[in-house]
Amino acid sequence: MRDHTLRFVFYQVFACCLIVGTTLSYGAPLPLTDREWLFICQRNSQALKTGICEVHSVAMKKMSVPIRYGLPAGPGPCEPTYVYRMLFFPHAEMFVEGGGVPITNRTTEEVLICNKCKDAEKNYLLHVDKTE
């Protein structure tokens, strides 16, 4: 478990390097092993149970967000990858993927949103190199 925590701390430090404007690219791949991915998913699952963001250690608030049905588009050239989102702002999504075909009449879902994750996402979008 210790090696996973150290690697996760590395990714948090890596994020700080990106925010202060080093030459590292926001779009740089962050390869994760299966064990690291499992660790991140377990932390996320625990955060959803406790209501405390695993990245920012603040209480999250419940919000009703729209459900998007259909084939999800991948991230655009200036958007963060799914792995990047899970590492640095996992609770910033203002929608829920509903799958390819609606099977209910529901159009919204209750989710936990972290304001610090939203701020981190905004900071990312402000500072990403849009020429890549």
Question: Are the C-beta atoms of 43 and 4 separated by less than 8 Å?
Answer: no
Compute the chain's Rg from CA coordinates. 16
> Residue 100: what pLDDT?
84
> How far apart are the C-alpha atoms of 82 and 44, rounded to whole Å?
13
pLDDT score recorded for residue 131? 57
* Tens-place pLDDT, residues 28-52: 456 788 899 899 999 999 999 999 9
pLDDT tens string 67-118: 988 887 777 777 888 888 888 999 999 988 888 888 888 899 999 999 999 9
Is-above-0.95 flag for pTM? Answer: no
| E strands, the chain, in order | 61-69, 96-99, 108-113
- Distance in Å from the first CA to the final CA of the chain: 36
Domain ranges, ordered by start, for the chain: 2-127
